[in-house]
Every structure is written in structure tokens, then in C-alpha cells.
Amino acid sequence: MVYLIFLVKRVVIIFVFIIALLPPLMAQPPKYSNEFLAIGVGARALGMSNANVAIVNDVTSSYWNPAGLSLLSHDWQVAGMHSEYFAGIAKYDYMGVATKIDENTTAGFSIIRFGVDDIPNTTELIGSDGRFHYDMITTFSAVDYAFLFSISGKSSVKGLRYGGNVKIIYRRIGDFARAYGFGFDLGVQYDLKKWKFGAVGKDITSTFNAWSFDISEKMKDVFISTNNDIPENSLEVTLPRLILGVSREFDLGKGFSSIANIDFDVTFDGKRNVLIKSDPISVDPRIGLEFGYKHFVFFRAGVGNIQNEIEFGGKTTTSFQPNIGVGIVIKNLVFIDYALTDIGDQSIALYSNVFSLKFNFNRKASL
């Protein structure tokens, strides 16, 4: 436990040091840069409101905490997920693969895509003659991609694991705009009897998206006539964030078990509307529970995104987003998970259905 406290202190000190070194021109970066990478992957984690960094132990560790990759139970693991948001307007997809290099080292690769397709482009709708030309309406897509290259290893200290990501970001808005980004994540996990602890630093050196725009003269005229700014080539910065997690396992007897998780998402980009807020540090807690029976069927629930909202009349209320989920494991080879996630105010029940699949393979079995 003394070693764990020392490790956590070192992680916090490193993060404070990184934030202090950021140059003045990055003092006011956009708060929600690359937010498609904050949604989460895998229906198991989403069913527990993303409280996952201490317990993740599969291919999805590349996203949540790369340290968990080294707990891979088989030589190979492949996973995929699909979900839709805003009544199917936006599509969110994930694919990941991980493999053991040796007894202590595991590597992984993941692709994440978030996109809105078939967006009407009406910038050419009105011709130079002032008439509407509906045949000039085209469509385009606004798409975000992330490519994660991960490595994880087991420390000589019993129960301690570590890992890291190199991530490449590609964002595109039709033929008008493109951005390329590059960043790093680092994570650790530590097991102590039935307790599990995790910490992951996202974008530890900041992630930089370099935007370039190709705007035609016709489109510039449209921007000017509608009182919009003409976009210019720019650099978008995503500041680091630190996620701390703790989990406890319980043996309920007769084949029943449970896991209780809590994560603290610590951001350093200014005051946010979360449960614990200050400037520049804010903390967003997430709580998740999982109940299992004989490692075959699982029920999950979680609460996250706790916020204060101001209603009409100035009354302040506290809102939250509840999630639930179920999972089935078939012979420790096939994992089928489902989550019903709340992406809006719980009073209007704006939910999204998330499905994910995961498969285990061994090299000998594939021969």
C-alpha cells in the first residue's frame, strides 16, 4: 500500500509539471477538443458509465488503460462495437485487436470512427442569377478517426502493470477541411488482494490537431454573406487529463460475485459543469457496478455525468446519466455485451443502444 501511495503521488506530480510547462499560447485551448475520444468503447464499460480504468483487462484496454492489456487471457483477442447517436444521425464504431508477444508483454491496435454522413451541402444552391439550383446540392461527411498503437507489460513488482499508447488522429469535413493529430497515453494498474487501482494519463504531452482548409471563392462569399468567419489554418490543442480508478471485488457465494468501481476524471482545462469544479482543475466522478453468476452472465449499472442545471425561474437541480447493461460469456471464447446508455437528460430518456462482441483465440487452436 505504501508503494501504491508513492506511485499515485508520482503520477500526480508529473501531471502538474506537464500542465505548468504548457506555453502561454496554449492557456486557452478549446475545452472539448477531440471529444469523440471521450465516449468510450465496449458495452461492458459503457454499461457501468465508463468506470473502468482499474478493472479493464482485455483488448479494450488500449482505449481505457493500456496497462490492462497484459492481462489478456488468450494469445489473441479481437473486439468490435457499433452504436448510433441522435436518432441514428451519428455512427460510432470501434475495432480492436491484441496479441501476446511473450509472457509479460502484450501489444494492441485499435481504430475508432465517429461520423455523420450524407450532410447536405447547400453552398452552391443559389446561383449567380439569384435562382435556386437544387441539382447543385451535394452531400459530404464529417468524420473523426483515431488509430491507437498500444504496448503493455508486467512489472517485477507483484500486481503492478504498465502500458502506453501512441495515437494518431485524422479528422475530415468533406473536401473542405482536414486535421491530423498526434498524442500519447500512459497507464498503470495495481492489484492488492480484492482491491484494484488504476491511473491513466490521456494526452500526457497534449495532443495537437493541425487543421487545414480548402475553401472555394464561392464558399467564401457564402460565409461572408451569412456573417460567418472564414476558417483559417490553425492548431487545436487537447490538454492532458488524468483518470484515477479504484475497484473492489466481492464474492457473494453460490456462484455469485460483484465488482464496485469508481473513477475520477480529472481535467486541467478550466472550470467544467461537473460535480467537483474549480479553475483550472475539475473532477467528474463515475460509479459502476457489475453482478455476475458463475462467470457466465452479468448485469451492470452505472451513474455518470453528474451536473448542476439551472431551470426556468433560476432553480438549480442536479442531473445525472444512468446506464445499464448485460453480458454473456460462452466458454471464455465469445463475449456478447449490450448497454443501454443515457446520452441526455434522464427526464427525456434519450437513450442509445450499444452492442459489442469479443473473441479469444490461441495460436495452437488456429493451426
User: Are 263 and 196 within 8 A, CB to CB?
Assistant: no
Task: Please give the residue range of the domain that contains residue 232.
Answer: 2-366
Report CA 89 to chain centroid distance, whole Å: 19
- How far, in Å, CA of 250 to CA of 303, rounded? 20
In this prediction, residue 2 carries a pLDDT of 45
Tens digit of each residue's pLDDT (9 = 90 or more) over 117-168: 888 877 666 666 667 767 777 788 899 999 999 999 999 999 999 999 999 9
What are the tens digits of pLDDT across the range 284-295? 999 999 999 999
Q: What is the pTM of this model?
A: 0.83
CA distance 143 to 117: 8
First-last CA distance in the chain: 44
Write out the three cell numbers for 184: 500519447
b/e 268-297 (16+ beta carbons within 10 angstroms → b): bbbebebbebeeebbbbbbbbbbebeeeee
Alpha helices (H) along the chain: 2-21, 43-47, 61-64, 217-225, 363-366
C-alpha cell at 106: 502484450
Instruction: Give CA–CA dist 300/323, Å, rounded.
Output: 8
Q: How many structural domains does the chain have?
A: 1
CATH of the domain at 302: 2.40.160.40
Q: What is the DSSP letter of 126?
A: B
